[in-house]
């Protein structure tokens, strides 16, 4: 099948590679423009999908706008049978959605209609979900609202961070995508409208989510740390008065009557903090403002 792929970050790379390995013709790749990086923002870094496409000698296009008519003209010239989107980071206008004969499909990292939006993996962890998955859906004008073609679910490991879960779902998405495209080519793919009564949202993350409320349960705070890694990160001022970023922690099976946010113990194992449910959260790794991410805490000294 002749496919135009649209994606930008590392999450999308396994889907692109899976299509290539399955023998499909990739007529082009759309991704977002290179971004400035470095201390002085003076170096441009290509997105992971671009690097992957260039490795396979696939033409790469990085339009700044999608609604000026140029993008759809280019797509019509490329004449794909199908457009596959995976974390592209742009909303496709209707003229692009209508362009390919077989339509546009999207690889979404949740079990739709749960967690429509930009950060479904993070919100699944933040909310303490035990399960998530990947959905392949037909794209519609409304965000993540198209009919479901296929889904696969997977348990969330109790210690899994957002980057770790992202990497796993990316691989699951690539595998499911290839199976789905094969079913579409054979005319056997299903199509199930989403239940609008079960829709939940996964909005963009923000720094407002970072501060830890120690009156919450130890598990909820632990999930906050896992779900906000690496950005914006969970933070606390309870230790030094400055906003310390929390990278790693664990729930300790201890009970305490100390006020939430109190330091119960600080030693070579970490810093034990009292939480609102009377349990203890042990901080294993934290970062002071302006410093680099440190190794594991190996002493009881509070920075």
* Range 123-133 average pLDDT: 98
What pTM was computed for the model?
Answer: 0.94
Identify the pLDDT of residue 294.
Answer: 62
pLDDT digits (tens, 9 = 90+) for 66-123: 999 999 999 999 999 999 999 999 999 999 999 999 999 999 999 999 999 999 999 9
Count: domains in the chain: 2
pLDDT digits (tens, 9 = 90+) for 174-226: 999 999 999 999 999 999 999 999 999 999 999 999 999 999 999 999 999 99
CA distance 103 to 97: 6
Domain limits at 44?
Answer: 2-198
* Range 229-248 average pLDDT: 94
Count of residues for the chain? 303
Identify the pLDDT of residue 303.
Answer: 45
* Range 154-169 average pLDDT: 98
Residue given tokens 């496409």 in the structure block:
53
What's the alpha-carbon Rg for the chain, to the nearest Å?
22
Alpha helices in 56-154 (DSSP H): 70-78, 94-97, 120-126
Identify the pLDDT of residue 295.
Answer: 53
Residues 6 and 120 occupy one common structural domain:
yes
Q: What is the chain's mean pLDDT, rounded?
A: 94
Indicate the helix (H) or strand (E) that contains 108. Answer: strand 104-108
Query: Residue 230's domain is classified under what CATH number?
Result: 3.10.25.10
188, part of any domain: yes
The four Cα atoms 122, 166, 45, 59 give a dihedral, to 10 degrees, of -120
Residues 20 and 154 occupy one common structural domain:
yes
- Per the rule left: phi > 0, alpha: psi between -120 and 50, beta: everything else, 239 is alpha
55, part of any domain: yes
Residues 237 and 99 occupy one common structural domain:
no
Parallel/antiparallel/unpaired status of strands 82-86 and 104-108: parallel
Identify the pLDDT of residue 297.
Answer: 52
pLDDT digits (tens, 9 = 90+) for 23-36: 999 999 999 999 98
């Amino acid at each position: 099948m002749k496919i135009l792929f649209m994606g930008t970050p590392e999450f999308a790379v396994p889907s692109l590679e899976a299509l290539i390995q399955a023998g499909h013709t990739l007529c082009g790749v759309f991704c977002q423009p290179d971004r400035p990086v470095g201390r002085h923002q003076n170096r441009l870094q290509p997105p992971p999908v671009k690097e992957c496409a260039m490795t396979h000698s696939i033409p790469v296009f990085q339009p700044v706008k999608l609604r000026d008519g140029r993008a759809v003209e280019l797509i019509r010239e490329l004449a794909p049978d199908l457009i596959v989107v995976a974390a592209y980071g742009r909303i496709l206008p209707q003229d692009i959605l209508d362009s390919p004969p077989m339509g546009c499909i999207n690889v979404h990292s949740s079990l739709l209609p749960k967690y429509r939006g930009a950060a479904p993996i993070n919100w699944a962890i933040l909310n303490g979900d035990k399960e998530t998955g990947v959905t392949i859906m037909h794209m519609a004008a409304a965000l993540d609202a198209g009919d479901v073609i296929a889904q696969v679910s997977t348990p969330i490991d109790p210690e899994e961070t957002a980057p770790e879960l992202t990497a796993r779902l990316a691989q699951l998405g690539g595998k499911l995508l290839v199976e789905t495209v094969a079913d579409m080519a054979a005319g056997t793919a299903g199509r199930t409208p989403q239940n609008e009564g079960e829709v939940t949202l996964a909005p963009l993350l923000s720094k407002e989510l970072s501060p830890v409320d120690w009156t919450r349960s130890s598990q909820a705070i632990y999930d906050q740390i896992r779900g906000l890694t690496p950005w914006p990160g969970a933070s606390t001022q309870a230790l030094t008065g400055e906003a310390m970023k929390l990278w790693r922690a664990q729930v300790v099976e201890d009970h305490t009557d100390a006020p939430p946010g109190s330091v119960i113990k600080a030693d070579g194992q970490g810093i034990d903090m009292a939480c609102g449910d009377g349990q203890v959260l042990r901080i294993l790794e934290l970062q002071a403002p302006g410093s680099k991410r440190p190794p594991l805490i190996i002493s009881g000294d509070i920075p």
